[in-house]
Structure 1
Amino acid sequence: METNSIQATDTEISATVISPAELLEHWQGHRKLSRKVIEAFPEEQLYAFSIGGMRPFAQLAMEMIGLAAPGIRGVAFGDWTFGEPQLDSQTPPPATKKELLDLWDLVTEYIDHIWPQIPAARFHEHDNAYGMYEGPIYSLFLYLVDNEIHHRGQGYVYLRALGIEPPAFWDR
C-alpha cells in the first residue's frame, strides 16, 4: 500500500481553506456560545460554584476575556502586551454578571474592530506570543479558540452539576 506524504509548498500554503472573514465568524460563533454559558449561570453560582478545585466560572470567563483582548492585538500587530482594554488572564472578574457580560461584549467589539486590520499573510508569520509561546500566528490564534472551548466545557459541567441545561453546543 502506498503512503501519501504531504509536503507544504508555496502553492499549498497560498491555497485558502477558510478566509479570514470565515475564521472570524467561526471564533465569534464560539464567543457567542460562551456568552450564553455565562448568561445561564445564576449570579451567585457564577462567582462561587466549583467542582474538584477548579476555579469558579466567572474566573474562567475572565481568562477567556483576558486572552482574547491582548491575543487579537498580538495576532494583528505583534503587540502581545496587556494594553487597552487593560485585561489579562489574571484580571479579577467584575462584581456582577451584567458587568461581566458587558466586558465580554466590549472585547467582542474590540475583536471586530481589530480583525479587519490583519493582513492575510500575517497568519503565516512566526511570533513569540506573550514572550513565551513561539509559532505561526495561525497556531497561536487557534490556541485562543481552543482555550475558550476548554473552559466553556468546564462551564457545561458546572451547569449540569447545578441542574441547569447548558446551551446546545452546536448553537453558534
Structure 2
Amino acid sequence: MENSTNIAVSQVITPAELLAHWQGHRRVTRRTIEAFPEDAFFNHTIGGMRPFANMVMELLAIGVPGLKEIVEGKREAFNEDFKHDNKKATFLKLWDDTTDAINTYWAQLKPEQFQENVILFGQYEGTVWSQIFYFIENEIHHRAQGYVYLRALGIEPPLFYVRD
C-alpha cells in the first residue's frame, strides 16, 4: 500500500479483518444478552450502574447509526432510549438486525476513509478508525459490566475469547 507521496505504508490489519474482529465481539455480547434471566436483563443493577438492557440500548444507538453516518455523511441523532416491549427476545432480534446492518454499511466503507476526520452525532470528533475502535471498546466495557451482573447472579458469563 502506498500513500499519495509514494512512501510505502505498512498495513497492520485489513478492513475485512477489523470487521471480523468487531463481529466476533458482537457474538460474545449476544451470548451475554442470552445468558441473562429475563427479569434481571431489565432490572438487575449493582452500585448505581444501569441495567444491562439499558447498556445494550446504548450499544444499539452507537454502532449502526455511527457507521451509517460515516458511510452516508448524514448526521444521525443519538438516541439510546427507544421504546421496547421488555422482552429479551426483542433485544436479540435488534442485535441480529444491527449485525446485518453493520455488514451492509461496512461493504460501502472505502479503505481511504479510515484516515478521514468525522464528527459523529454532531459532537464526537475523531478519525473513522478511531470511531470504530470506540464502538468496539465501548461494547467491551459494557459487556464487562454485564459479566459482573451475571457473576453476581451466580451465572457463569460466556468465555470472552471465544468469538465464533
Q: TM-score, normalised by structure 1?
A: 0.87
Q: What is the distance in 2 between the residues matched to 1:72 and 1:45?
A: 30
Alpha-carbon spacing, 1:92–1:161, altered in 2? closer, same or farther (3 Å): farther
- The DSSP-based 3-state class of the residue aligned with 1:74 is helix
Equivalent residue letter for 1:118: L
Q: Is the 8 A contact 1:62 1:93 kept in 2?
A: no
Q: TM-score, normalised by structure 2?
A: 0.91
Count how many residue pairs are aligned between Structure 1 and Structure 2: 159
Deviation at 1:93, TM superposition (A): 4.5
Cα-Cα RMSD = 1.7
Equivalent residue, structure 2, for 1:167:
158
Equivalent residue, structure 1, for 2:34:
39
- The DSSP-based 3-state class of the residue aligned with 1:151 is helix
Residue identity over aligned pairs, in percent, reads 46
Q: What is the distance in 1 between the residues matched to 2:35 and 2:97?
A: 19
- The DSSP-based 3-state class of the residue aligned with 2:7 is helix
Unaligned stretches of 5+ in structure 1? Answer: 1-8
Q: Is the 8 A contact 2:117 2:128 kept in 1?
A: yes
Q: Is the 8 A contact 2:76 2:120 kept in 1?
A: no
Equivalent residue, structure 1, for 2:100:
109
Unaligned stretches of 5+ in structure 2? Answer: none
Q: Is the 8 A contact 1:47 1:58 kept in 2?
A: yes
Equivalent residue letter for 1:68: G
Where in structure 1 do 4 or more consecutive aligned residues deviate above 6 Å?
none
Equivalent residue, structure 1, for 2:7:
11
Alpha-carbon spacing, 1:10–1:133, altered in 2? closer, same or farther (3 Å): farther
1:92-171 to structure 2, matched below 5 A, reads 92-171=83-162
